[in-house]
Amino acid sequence: MTYKKRIKTIVDGPYVDRTILIGAELIADYVQMKHETVKRWRRKEAFPMAKMPDGRWFTSTELIDRWILARMYAQDAREKKAKENTQHEEGSK
């Protein structure tokens, strides 16, 4: 059984609405991928999900969103560095 649970928590004062996702299928639906992909990301890409004592996977939408943003920023930085290196090499010729 998979389901979403809405919780309220306090972070730096104000209340923040977070969604807890329980179940690999629901987590995969959130990122619009197959659950096999999400499990592979966990093994190889540090995707933020963990197993509960009963064996079900869980995470929060906030953790997933932060993971996606971190990957986007890292990709942007790699592309910027590659572009700078290409420009530097072209300027050296």
Max Cα–Cα distance, the chain, nearest Å:
62
The average confidence (pLDDT) of the chain is: 81
The SS3 of residue 1 is coil
3-92 has CATH 1.10.3470 classification: no
Under DSSP, the state recorded for 14 is S
Q: Parse the chain into domains and list their residue ranges.
A: 3-92
Cβ pair 5, 19 in contact under 8 A: yes
**Digit-coded pLDDT (tens) for 6-40:** 444 434 444 455 689 999 999 999 999 999 999 99
Helices then strands, each counted (H, E), the chain: 3, 4
pLDDT at 77 over 80: yes
**Digit-coded pLDDT (tens) for 35-64:** 999 999 999 999 999 999 999 999 999 899
Alpha-carbon separation of residue 48 from 45, 57, 92 (angstroms):
9, 10, 43
